[in-house]
Each structure stands twice: as C-alpha cells, then as structure tokens.
Chain A
C-alpha cells in the first residue's frame, strides 16, 4: 500500500513532514515541503514531475545520500536522520541499491568487478562473491559479457551492469534515477522490463524517478511531485486528486 496522507502504520518506508531547503546565492529554495509518504514492501512507485520539483532530492533523501532540513524518514525501522558516518554507510550497503541515469560504472573495472564492488564491503568469501555476481549478471542477461569493460558495452548493457551492481547485495529498496533517460526506446524497454521483473518476482520495493510516461506506466503507483508537494496520480499520469483529500 502507498499513502501520501501520513496516516500509514508499520510501512517499510515512512516519511513524515519532510522539508528540504537549499541555499543558493543567498536565496533559500524550498525543494520539498511537508511531504508525507508511506510505502509497503514490494511496491513499485514512479515519481514524475517537472525539473526542479524535487524528485531526485526525494530519492537522495530516501537513500540517505542527503539530509532533510526537517521531518523524518524511517526505512525498515531505522530512522535515517539518526544515522551518520560509518553507520549510515553500512545501512546504505544493506538496504539501498542505486541505479543512475549515467550508469556510473567504474571504467577501469570489468562488468564482473563493477558488480562485485558492493560485496567487497561484506564478509562474503571470494567464491560466494563470485556466485552472487554471476547470479546478478545472469538475471540481467549479461553472463557472456562479464569480463568486458564498460567501454566495450552498449549503453543498455552498461545500465544492465549497473542494475546487477544495485541488486547484487540483495538490498531492501531500489532507487532508480531516470534509468532510461540516456537510452533509446528499445534499450530503455529492456531496462524497464528488468526493473519490473525485480518488483514482480523478487518483491523489491522500487522508487523510480522518470520524465517518461511510458516508463512510469510500469509502476504500480504513480506519484506526481510539484513544487515540493506529492500528489498521487492515476497510472496514466493524470493527477488524481489533491493530497489532503486522497485516501487509498
């Protein structure tokens, strides 16, 4: 279940009265304002909205990459704001998988080595790590390219490696920031198919930021962000209602 009225209980992700302000050139900009969100395990949510509406900021806050100006974010029982430094890094390694628009692979590492990176932070043995990496690469259909470097892969293949890297440590949540934004339609569809499968078959909780209505259609819930406020929408992208009177 997904709620935006702040009345959910025992959700995987609980966001309450979230504010985020940036200071730019002496001016304070409200990016997120009093945002509430409850998301249960296994939900696939797409965020849409105009540029600067706070989509990526919200994703960063959920992933513990940024800190809110006010409000709380609780993920799997942990309040992220209470974590810092080493604990926050360990929490991120355990719970969060990121997929970026520009893939962000390490160019001097092969696909296998890129995917293995999150596992180097765990206590897994070399053979266990190998097993996990091969499973992740198989899931994204790239076992035959595991020893290729990013420069030897197409954009779609690079993004599939990035997905394998995001899921290899079996995180609770996948955060996808415009994962198809730099791809052609065919490659983008492949990526979306993999992400949908992760939601459907592996019950991953997925947050997808996109400008693409086709991509957003894959999500079970579409939320529209505008001027720092969340609006729940129908699956076709239309704003269904205002947050204050919407119940689901």
Chain B
C-alpha cells in the first residue's frame, strides 16, 4: 500500500495512453458482459432443467409429433413416476413482433411434473375449469398489461385463425430463470380446433424416481417405441434444453471465439502500452533499485499498474453492461432472461484482472531483470 501513490502517479503520466488502455478494457468487458448475458439467456432452460425429468420427443425431429396414446404406455415403464405433455403453438399477439413462447399443455398432470411453478389453488382451479383459459408468466403480464379476466386473441402460425383465451392465472416463482414471458393453455382446446395432427403432442416430460436411473429409464422408453411409426428420442431435460438452445448454432463456441479474439487483442494493446511505459522509465526503475528496492517489488509495481488499468477499465465495462441489461430484453422476447448475473460479473472481473496480469507480466519481468548499471548508462 505504501507504493500505491507511486502506481497511481505513474498511470497519470501519460493520460491519453492510460485512458485509451482503460477504454480497451471497458469495451472488451462490456462486450463480455453482453455476450455472457446472451449466452445465459439462451441457455436458461438448461439451468432450470430438473435432474429427475426426461424429455421424450420424436426421433426424427423436435417438430415431428408423438401420439397422445404414448403417455399411458410410458407410465407403465420402470422408474417412471409421472408424465405430462405439451405442444408448441407458436401464436402471436396482434403483430408478429409481439411473439412470445406459447404452448398447449396437459392441464391435469402438469403441476405434478413442474412443481416449481406456484399458483393459488383458486387461480389454478379457474384455469383448469375453463377450456379457453390460459396461464401467463409475470413478465408477459407486465409486457402487455394483462391481468386475470382479460381475453386475449392469439394469431396462430401453424394452425389457422385467431384463438381467443381467457387469462385465468399468473404463476409465481422465486427463480428468476423461470420468469420468461410465456403462455400456456389447454391441450384439449388446441386439439379440438386444429385441423391436423389431432391426437398428437409435441413432446412428453417424464418424472422419474431417481436421477441415477435416468439412463435406464430413457433406454426403456426408446426401446418401447422402437420400430414404430413414431420412434422416440429420450434425454434428460438438461440435454434437451441444451439441444434446443443450440438449434440456432453453437452459441458457446461463437461467444468463446469472439471473446478470445477480443481478449487476445486486449493483451496485445495493454502489453504494448505497459512495455512502452516500462521502456520510458528504465532510468527511474534503475534508481528505485539503486535505493534498495528489490526485484520482486519492482515487478510488483509494474504488475500493479497493469492490474489497476484492468480493474478500472474492466469494472467500468461491466457496470455499463449491467446498466444495459437492466433495460431488459432488447429482442422483445427471444432472450427472455436477459440478465447479467453476479456470477458472470465476477467472472468478467476475474478475466479482466487475469488479462491485465498477463499483459503486464512480460514488461514487469523486463523491469525486474533490469541491470542497474546498464539502465543508468542509458539515462
């Protein structure tokens, strides 16, 4: 701490250079914050997936349906405790830009498989008793100002027409990842009105007795329907959610690639700035050694400068990213959980410090190894 002042005044010597280097960190960490937010928003389904749940879908593709009759057969298989199903509806409200996820669900069994969604019994009963009833999430209610009792027209994209629904319940949850803008309504209502795929569902969600039996249960389900016209592919809910997220490409690889390029560039920029700073101060470093400063302290001083730049710039970038994400999902529903988590903030800050340290280490080692007599001769 005694040398903190020296570190700070050294950073202030070339204000433009320091500001630009800090700015590089700010831009890089802002970008990191946004990319991390996009990644976690796309993968939020993966994070909330239950360890004791399997998803059964058509082996050919997720958009191919499965017969509704499969539910009873699945329930008879070993380790299966409960099963429910849902079908993607794909409707929108008034305009395509108002799109949000909406599903037709198996109302009688849904809550037993998804206990994490909380309802008052009164609301759930009202929903269950109204074939045109629907459940909405709090963000959806907030987005369109909907409340219980409202009648909502949904324009179908797969099946024709306008489908009117009554808001009967708004679920609650204390898990932020579960609060995406979404709507559920009765499967019976869908099956009654649609013109094709009657008696078919989109996928099943199966609750098993123990996560340790997931492989055995999944194999039993797929074996049961092997060589049938609608073969199944069963996987854990986590794998299913990850596969769903990856439909738009390998986001993880994309983000990692962009992040790597940005951080590598950052290393070069900062490393160059630090190398220049050390080169300009060769004589002063020699004087510090002459008065008795040891090599390790000299190394620490240079490292401290690089890390201070990283901390200030990186911190500013992350704060800006956080402020940006606080404005909410910029895509209008595609990235429901557009939220920069404390974990990602901490990770970003740690990465910034690591980049600062990596950029500073070579100039710092050069300063540490500086021979006093050689350096003084250059003054």
Residues on A lying within 8 angstroms of B by beta carbon are: 60, 63, 65-66, 85-86, 89-90, 92-94, 96, 98, 100, 102, 104, 106, 108-109, 113, 117-118, 120-121, 165, 169
Contact = CB atoms under 8 A, between A and B. Distances in A.
Contacts of A106: 6, 284, 287
Nearest to B379: A102
Nearest to B12: A108
Interface string B1-20: 01101100110110000000
Given A85-B295, A106-B284, A108-B12, A92 B5 contact: no
B292 A92 contact: yes
Given A65-B373, A104-B379, A120-B2, A94 B291 contact: no
A107 B34 CA distance: 41
Interface string B284-308: 1001111111111100000000000
B75 interface: no
User: Main secondary structure on chain B at its contact with chain A?
Assistant: helix
A106 B287 CA distance: 9
B373 A90 contact: no
A50 to B, nearest CB: 18
B160 interface: no
14 contacts: A65-B290, A65-B373, A66-B372, A92-B290, A94-B292, A96-B292, A98-B287, A98-B291, A102-B379, A104-B376, A106-B284, A118-B292, A121-B291, A121-B292
Given A92-B291, A120-B3, 14 more contacts: A65-B290, A65-B376, A86-B295, A86-B296, A89-B293, A92-B290, A94-B292, A98-B291, A100-B287, A104-B283, A106-B287, A117-B288, A118-B291, A121-B292
Given A104-B379, A108-B9, A121 B293 contact: yes
A155 B345 CA distance: 51
Nearest to A65: B372
Interface in B324-379: 372-373, 376, 379
Interface of B: 2-3, 5-6, 9-10, 12-13, 283-284, 287-297, 372-373, 376, 379
Nearest to B377: A56
A66 B289 CA distance: 12
A60 B290 CA distance: 10
A113 B372 CA distance: 22
B373 A104 contact: no
Nearest to B289: A89
Top 7 nearest A-B pairs (CB, nearest first) are A93-B292, A89-B294, A108-B9, A65-B372, A118-B291, A104-B287, A120-B2
B373 A86 contact: no
Contact of A90 (B3, B287, B292): B292
